[in-house]
Structure 1
C-alpha cells in the first residue's frame, strides 16, 4: 500500500564538522508529523548555508524519519518511490513549483504549504540591506515573474494549506481545496495559567511599571530598528516602562550601542530556549509584547505571546491585523508609525483595565489555536487528501 509521506521543506540544514544541524522548530514539528502519520515519513531538504540561531545537533539515528539533503537544482523525483501517497511541499520555494508535473502519472497526491504573498516577498526584498538598489530591482523583477509559476502550481495541486490570513485571502480562489491554519509552538499545557493571569492583572491594576518584551531575529525586516525609538517616545510621554529584548541578528550591535541612555530600563539578552526559558518569562515577567514587524508574513510570535497572556502592540501589517481584529488581543498602529505604536502602549499605561481585557482576549484566542489543535487538523487534512482517512 502506498502510504509514505514525503515532505519537501525549506528548513535549513547544515553539515558541520560534528555532524548534521537542523532548525530546532523544524525538528520539533517533525516529531509530531511522524507521530500522526499512519505510514513512514521522509524529508527532503535543500543544502543551504543559512544561519541557524536556533539549531540542534542531530546525530545519526536520532531522527524518526528518513532524511535526504540535496543540492539546489537537484530533482526530487528520485525520492518519490512507489510507496509514496502524498508529497507536501513548500510553495514559497521556487524549486517546488514544477512538482505538479513531477507527480502527474505517479499516483502521488500533492499538497502545497504557502506562507508569503507577492507583496510580502517584494517588501522583504526592499528591506534587504545586503543588496544594492540595482540588485533589489533585479530580484523584484525575478519575483514578479515567479508569481505566474506560483499561481499555476497552486492550481495544479490537490490542496493547499495556507499559514496565516494574508496568503489565504490572496490565493484561496485559485485552489481546489484550501486549508487555513495559524502556525505556532504553544501547546495547551504551555499557556498562561489562571493564577498567572490574575497575578498580572493585579499588578497592572496596582499601577506597576509596564513590562514590555520582544523576542525573535533582530533584523530590519522584523522592525528591530524601531524598538529603542518606541522606548524613547514612551519616556518622552512619561510612561514608566521596561523592555527586555531576546534575540540576535544584524541589528543587535546597533541596539546594544543604544542601551546606555535607558539606564537599565532596556535589556538585551541572547536567544534562550523557547519552552524552558522564553515561555516562563513571557508568562510571569512581562505584560506586553512589542512587535515592530512591518511585513505580513505569518509570524508565529503573535500567537505564542498571546498564549502567554500578553497583549500585543504591533504595526498594521496584514497578518497582525487579521489576528487582532479577530481576537481583540492587542492594539494596531499605522504601518511604520513608531510614534503611534508608542501611543498604543501609552494608552494601556493610562487605562490598565483595557490592557487586562486585551490580555484575557489574547490568551482566549491562542487557546483556540494551540499547537496540538492546529497541527492535528493539518494532519487530518493531509490524510484526507491522500485518501487514507474518510
Structure 2
C-alpha cells in the first residue's frame, strides 16, 4: 500500500449515509461540505455510518446523489456499519479496522471526527493513524458527555452505566487529541472543553451560508421599520424538536411572555421525537393561536427567508453544541437570544447581535425578550449588529480555513 502523490483527503465521520438507486446518498448540507473539500483536495474519500432510515424513503433529511458533478468526479463515499452498541462494534471491528488501515495508508491528508468510543469508527481510524505514525487532524463538533447525559436524563439505569464508562471513553478521546497534529474544535463550547488536551487547537466554525445570502441593507431596513412600527414580535427557531434543543424551555419562555401581555407570533421549524408532546403542551396552554409548527423545511432559501423576516431567534440549547442555525440567523440579521454558552458568545464577540441568559434561566431569557419588545430601538440596533456578525461567516471562508489546517495534519 503506497501513499499517493496527490493532495488526497481521508475523512472518517459519523454522518449518516444511505445507499440510493445511483449510489451513496447524504443529506444536502453534507453534500455541500464534501463539494467544498473537493475544491481544496484532488481526491476525497468520505466515510460515514449506515443510515437507520429506509434506503429510499423515510426521515426528513433532503438526500442528495453523489455520483454527479464535482462529487462524482473527485469524491468516493463509503458506508461503515452502524455499530453504537458493544455487541455490534465487536462484530464489525475486524473488517472495519482493516478497511481503515488501508485508507489511512493511502491518503496524504487525514481528518477524523471524534465522538465517543462505542461505534466510533473515526476514533478507530485515529488509533490506526497513530500506529502507522501518520499525522492527522482531529475534529470535534460537540461536547459528547453533555449530549449523553441529556439524552439519558429519563433513563437512570442507562445514565448510570454511561457515567461509569464515560471517564474511559473521554480519556481515549483526549489521548487521540494529544496525538493529533492539529485539532479542529468547532465553536467556543468544544474549544473550551477540549483545547487543553490538544497540542495545536483551533476554534473553527461550520456553515453553508454564502456571501450572496447575507441580508441586504434594504431588507434589514424593512425589518427594522416593521419592528419600530411595534408590530407583534416574530420569534423563530430552526432545528430538531429533541431534548438537547430545549423545546419545553422554549415553550415555557413563550408562555411567560404571553402572561405578561407581550404580543408575538412564534414558530419552530423542524420535526423530531418531541414534536407531538410539544404540540400537545401548546394546546393545553392555549397558545395555538400564537405558536406555529410548520414542520421540516429542506429548502435553504425558504429557511433564510423566514429568518430574514423574523425579529429574533430564540434558543434554549441544553447541551454545549455548535448549532448552524445561530450562524444562519446572524447572516439573516436576526438576533440570537438564548442560553449563555461559549459558542453563541464567540459568534457575537466582535460585533454583537445576541443576548444570553446565564444558568439556563427561563425567567432571564424571557426578560431579555420582554425588554426588546418594549425598546424597539434596542431591537433594531441588535438586528444591525447581528447582520454585521453574519458577515464573518460564509462557506468559502470557513472551509478554506479548515482545509489549510487539515493540510498540516
Residues 268-322 of structure 1: CA deviation (Å, up to 9, x unaligned): 1111124221011211x21110101121111111111111001111012332233
Q: In structure 1, the residue corresponding to 2:206 is in which secondary structure?
A: coil
- C-alpha separation between the residues in 1 aligned to 2:350 and 2:167? 31
Paired residue total: 379
Deviation at 1:377, TM superposition (A): 1.2
Task: State the match for 2:150 in structure 1.
Answer: 127
Task: State the match for 1:321 in structure 2.
Answer: 345
Deviation at 1:52, TM superposition (A): 4.6
Aligned pairs for 1:217-366 (under 5 A) are 217-260=240-283, 261-283=286-308, 285-366=309-390
Task: State the match for 2:397 in structure 1.
Answer: 373
Question: Aligned in 2, Cα 1:3/1:185: closer, same or farther, shift over 3 Å?
Answer: closer
- C-alpha separation between the residues in 2 aligned to 1:7 and 1:166? 23
Q: In structure 2, the residue corresponding to 1:185 is in which secondary structure?
A: coil
- C-alpha separation between the residues in 1 aligned to 2:399 and 2:349? 23
Deviation at 1:101, TM superposition (A): 4.3
Task: State the match for 2:26 in structure 1.
Answer: 22
Residues 177-211 of structure 1: CA deviation (Å, up to 9, x unaligned): 22221212211111111001101111111211111
Kept after mapping to 1: 8 A contact 2:331/2:386: yes
Question: Aligned in 2, Cα 1:21/1:3: closer, same or farther, shift over 3 Å?
Answer: closer
Selected match of 1:87 from 101, 110, 123: 110
TM-score (norm 2): 0.86
Deviation at 1:106, TM superposition (A): 4.9
Q: Which moved more, 1:165-174 or 1:346-355?
A: 165-174
Task: State the match for 1:109 in structure 2.
Answer: 135
| 2:76 is aligned with 1:66 | yes
**Structure 2: tracts of 5 or more residues without a match:** 84-92
Deviation at 1:349, TM superposition (A): 0.4
- C-alpha separation between the residues in 2 aligned to 1:130 and 1:68? 34
Q: In structure 1, the residue corresponding to 2:359 is in which secondary structure?
A: coil
Task: State the match for 1:54 in structure 2.
Answer: 61
**Structure 1: tracts of 5 or more residues without a match:** none
- C-alpha separation between the residues in 1 aligned to 2:130 and 2:66? 36
Question: Aligned in 2, Cα 1:28/1:251: closer, same or farther, shift over 3 Å?
Answer: same
Aligned-CA RMSD value = 2.3
Q: In structure 1, the residue corresponding to 2:220 is in which secondary structure?
A: helix
Q: Which moved more, 1:255-264 or 1:233-242?
A: 255-264
- C-alpha separation between the residues in 2 aligned to 1:309 and 1:364? 8
Residues 3-59 of structure 1: CA deviation (Å, up to 9, x unaligned): 32111111012336886442221111111111122x211111232526853240426
Question: Aligned in 2, Cα 1:338/1:166: closer, same or farther, shift over 3 Å?
Answer: same
Q: Which moved more, 1:273-282 or 1:302-311?
A: 273-282
Kept after mapping to 2: 8 A contact 1:5/1:86: yes
Kept after mapping to 1: 8 A contact 2:136/2:406: no
- C-alpha separation between the residues in 1 aligned to 2:237 and 2:381? 21
Question: Aligned in 2, Cα 1:52/1:377: closer, same or farther, shift over 3 Å?
Answer: farther
- C-alpha separation between the residues in 1 aligned to 2:131 and 2:160? 39
Kept after mapping to 2: 8 A contact 1:317/1:335: no
Question: Aligned in 2, Cα 1:293/1:46: closer, same or farther, shift over 3 Å?
Answer: same
Selected match of 1:33 from 27, 37, 52: 37
Q: Which moved more, 1:86-95 or 1:287-296?
A: 86-95
Question: Aligned in 2, Cα 1:101/1:207: closer, same or farther, shift over 3 Å?
Answer: closer
- C-alpha separation between the residues in 2 aligned to 1:169 and 1:130? 24
Task: State the match for 2:204 in structure 1.
Answer: 181
- C-alpha separation between the residues in 1 aligned to 2:13 and 2:127? 18
Q: Which moved more, 1:7-16 or 1:104-113?
A: 104-113
Q: In structure 2, the residue corresponding to 1:109 is in which secondary structure?
A: coil
